Amino acid sequence: MFREIEHPQFKHALVTGGTKGIGREIAMGLAAAGTHVIIVGRNAETGREAQKIVIDQTGNPHVIFLAHNISSAAGRRELASKVREITPGGLDLLVNNAGFTSTKLLGREFTADGHDLIVATNLFGPMDLTRQLHGNLDEASQRTGERAHVLGISSTAANHAEITTASLEDPDFHGLLNRFFANKRIYGWSKRAYNLAIAKHAELYPDIQINNLNPGVTDTTFNQGAGGLVGLINKRFNRTISRLRNAVPPEVVANTLLALAATPDLPNGASFNMDLTLWEPRGRDIADPLLRQELWRVILRTSGVH
C-alpha cells in the first residue's frame, strides 16, 4: 500500500520508534522512496529485525538502526550526536513517532532523570530532539531551499486532558481516586502538551516545517505496553479489540503522514486529522495565548529542555 502514493524525496530521515507499528511503516514508505532512513528504538533485537525487513521489502540498503532511549536526556544527547555524524548535508525529516503509554490502572513509572516515563517519552523526547537536531534540519533547509520537516503523532486522548499550571508541575492530580487511571490521563496530557509544543517550535524555528497527525485508533500492539490488567486483556484480545474499535492499519497512518510532508503551504505548527483537515483539541489552555505562554514556561522548567 505504501507504494501507491507519491512520497516526497528526502535525503536523510530519522524515525523514532521506527522499529514497530506506525514508525516501521513510515520507515518502509521512506525507504521505498529512496531516503536514507535511521530508525530508533530501545530493543536491539526488534530494531535489527525491523532494519532487515525494511531493507528486504524495499531493496534500499540505506536503513540504519540505532538503539537509544529517547525518554532519557543522556539517550537523546547520544542519539543527536550520532545523527549529526551520519547525515552529511543535514536531516531533511525528523519523525517524532516513538510513544509510550502505561496500561496499569494504578502506579506510575519514572525515568532515571526523575520524570514520568509517559511524559518523558511523548513530550520531552520529541521537544528535546527537535531542539538538538535543529542545526541539522536547518542545514537541510539551506541545502534544498525548502523547509526541513518535523512530524509528530498526537492522539484523540489529547481532547480530554486540559492543561493547568498545577497539572504541569504534576500531571498525576492528588487524591486516591485520581490515582486510578492516572496513566490514561497522563498519556492524553502528554500528547496535548506536545501539541502546544509544536506550535511554539514553529514560532521558534521558522526555518523548519513542524506538524502533527492525529491518527485515531491504529492497529498496532501499542496498548499492550507496560503490563497491568488492561495490558493483559489487550494482549489476549488485540485482534478483536482492533476490529471492534475500527482500528486503521498502520501503513495507512504512515501514508497519511508522508502525504502531509508532501502537501505544500501547510500552516506551520498545526495538527491534522487523517483526512488532512485541521485538528486541535478544544479548551482554554489551547485557546488562550497568555495561558499558552505560561504553560510553555512551565514545560521548559519541568523538562529541563532549553
Question: Residues in the site for ligand NAP, rule: CB under 6 A?
Answer: 16-17, 19-23, 40-43, 46, 69-71, 97-100, 121, 153, 155, 215, 217-218, 220-222, 250
CB 206 to ligand NAP: min, Å: 25
Distance of alpha carbon 205 from its chain centroid, rounded?
18
Q: Return left, alpha or beta for 164; rule: phi > 0 is left, psi -120 to 50 is alpha, else beta.
A: beta
Helix (H) or strand (E) holding 63: strand 63-67
CB 140 to ligand NAP: min, Å: 22
DSSP, res 235: H
248-272 as b/e: b if 16+ CB within 10 A: bebbbbbbbbbbbbeeeebebbbbb
CB 128 to ligand NAP: min, Å: 12
C-alpha span between 251 and 242 (Å, rounded) = 15
CB 178 to ligand NAP: min, Å: 22
Nearer to ligand NAP, 10 or 65 (CB): 65
Nearer to ligand NAP, 78 or 162 (CB): 78
C-alpha span between 36 and 15 (Å, rounded) = 11
**Polymer length in residues for the chain:** 306
R_g of the chain computed on alpha carbons: 18
- 164, three cell numbers: 493547568
Nearer to ligand NAP, 123 or 286 (CB): 123
CB 67 to ligand NAP: min, Å: 8
Q: Which residue's entry shows cell 536531516?
A: 91
C-alpha span between 63 and 51 (Å, rounded) = 6
CB 288 to ligand NAP: min, Å: 26
Contact 153, 218 (CB under 8 A): no
Nearer to ligand NAP, 17 or 269 (CB): 17
Start-to-end CA span in the chain (Å): 40
Nearer to ligand NAP, 54 or 139 (CB): 54
Nearer to ligand NAP, 109 or 138 (CB): 109
Nearer to ligand NAP, 50 or 139 (CB): 50
Report the alpha-carbon angle 112-113-117, nearest 5: 75
Nearer to ligand NAP, 49 or 138 (CB): 49
CB 175 to ligand NAP: min, Å: 27
CB 23 to ligand NAP: min, Å: 5
